[in-house]
Amino acid sequence: MSNRRVLACLPVLLAGCLLTHPGGSSLAFVEIEGVPIERVREVTKKVFAAEHYAVRSEDAGGLVFVREGTLNDQLQYARYGESLTMRVDVTFEPYGPGAVLVRADAFALHNGSDRDSVRLLKVTRRPYMQVLRRVKDQAAEGSKAEGE
């Protein structure tokens, strides 16, 4: 097979790897090893608060965060001059021995209503992956500092 064909197939192969991972159906995900799920939850709240998100609701399986949409969000989702709220649903799942799978799915809510929500596409995943990576890094740092 030529190098060109291999390079052309690479994105398809990588996408297939994402889809076969349990977190692959979500917009963003990270695996955090060696940190208790309670600590991961608390660190997630702090990291999202630093990104101007507020906790809308929480239950045993996860958290729902919201923030007011920025001008950039309004332009991106064709809601210029209208009320737009960004919502992120974060879930925590045990993932093997001593690991937690943290998943995030994001939505744009017109007038703050879940009824008029638009699920964000995977092409917008980068900022959400960065936030989850910060969660992972801070959870691991805190765990090391306490000697767990």
pLDDT of 18: 46
Using a pLDDT cut of 90, give the percent of the chain over it: 51
- HEC states along 64-133? EEEEECCHHHHHHCCCCCCCEEEEEEEEEEECCCCEEEEEEEEEEEECCCHHHEEECCHHHCHHHHHHHH
Q: Which residue has the higher pLDDT, 75 or 64?
A: 64
pLDDT of 17: 47
pLDDT of 92: 97
pLDDT of 143: 66
Least confident of 52-61, 69-78, 134-143: 69-78
